[in-house]
Chain A
Amino acid sequence: MKPKAFDYLRAASADEAVAGLAKGGDGARILAGGMSLVPILNFRLADPELLIDISQVKDLDYIRVDGNMVQIGASTRQAKVMAWPELAERVPLLSKALPHVGHYQTRSRGTVCGSLAHADPSSEIPLCLATLGGEVVLKSASGERRLGADDFQTGMLSTAKRDDEMVLAARFPVAENGTGYAFDEMAQRRGDFAIVAVAAAVSGSKIRLGVGGVADKPTVAEWGNIAGDELDDALNAFAWDLGGYDDVHAAARYRRELVRRLGRRIIEEARA
């Protein structure tokens, strides 16, 4: 199908983009890579009055190490982040997750920040940000603010971003010495939406396990460095807490089983 008619604004800077948002109100949407937004427009599930294209804003196309954070700008494509030579060392979890994001032909255009703004509950990038305890930088015409991943994503396809704000950047904590990271997911085909995705960060004293695709947003459990039956019990309790649902792809029961099994496997992989 074809999208409904909209006005188009190609922004040359973040300031122009947020000025557009201030003017456009709740009818305005930011267009970055468009790999999630344009299908929704083609299906007419969304019909914005104004699209503000930031895909060619050069100042927002960057990967920057800022102290103990890696900051990624709003127009930075996933393929560029994947090809960043320092990624495996700085943010190993993201390096392991990015090959699962869409396909080669969509990562070439899709952005890291756009995936966060879209906030699909089974997406890999929001799951990584939540598991690592990263942040999102929001900008409006009246200023900037930062929100932690958990405060930013509020549910299925919904975030705490106001209509007059854009996601300016994402901030991923740099890997800590002595912490291992692992990621895996179950999808019907490689690159399809994950039925369940899991991400782990495990140190000598702490396990953080993030799960996507079960609850209405990526959800993180934190335990001491438990193992054996104690870990299985904790994973089982977590699987039930997530409140999975049945859909055409999988039953809730299957999703819980994936949380137990993939969770266990990924924690052990991160520990190794």
Chain B
Amino acid sequence: MTELGRNARHNISFILNGESVSGSAEPRMLLTDFLNYELGLTGNHVGCEHGVCGACTLLIDGNPERGCLTFAVQVDGRDVKTVESIAGREGNLNDLQLAFRKHHALQCGYCTPGILMSLTAYLEDTPDPSEEELRDMLSGHICRCTGYVGMVNAVMDVVEQRKAKA
């Protein structure tokens, strides 16, 4: 059992994008705020802050989860990945990001980090989705720029590329 009082900041440490990080947080601090304001990350975006829009989706122990519905103290000792994890160290975009660029799968880009993280997990479990399955999965994200068509095309392109490589 771990008990954390409301008025104190508690030390937490976890693996973020493959590296150990630590800091301190009150129990009520959202993971999104911890990443942005305590650790200074800029990749994870916050939209609605009640789990609907999907912009803050990140991976916790490999699961796609809403960062805004997670308290920072809940990820103590766990593995967290944000959009910063998917490009190479020199900033080389991965296949999904390149396909997003090629197919105009984003305009303002605000929702994109969450969508990329969802897709990262989804394509592991479902490497060859139908368009209907993919659209159903994308319904967990709100994008007001694209109408999703470019996104679907980008993902289908990646699916074909990965199949050709396998």
Contacts and interface: CB of A to CB of B under 8 A. Distances in A.
A42 B118 CA distance: 23
A104 B69 contact: no
B7 interface: yes
Interface string B1-33: 111111100000000000000000011101001
A109 B71 CA distance: 13
B2 A190 contact: no
Instruction: State the majority secondary structure of interface residues on A.
Output: loop
A223 interface: no
Interface string B127-156: 000000000110111000000000000000
Contacts, number: 101
A42 B50 contact: yes
Instruction: State the majority secondary structure of interface residues on B.
Output: mixed
Contact of A5 (B28, B136, B141): B28
Interface residues of A, number: 34
B interface, size bucket: 35 or more
A158 interface: no
Interface string A6-17: 111111100010
Contacts of A190: 136, 139
A184 B33 CA distance: 38
Nearest to A104: B137
A76 to B, nearest CB: 14
Interface of B: 1-7, 26-28, 30, 33, 49-52, 54, 57, 63-66, 68-71, 73-74, 118, 121-122, 136-137, 139-141
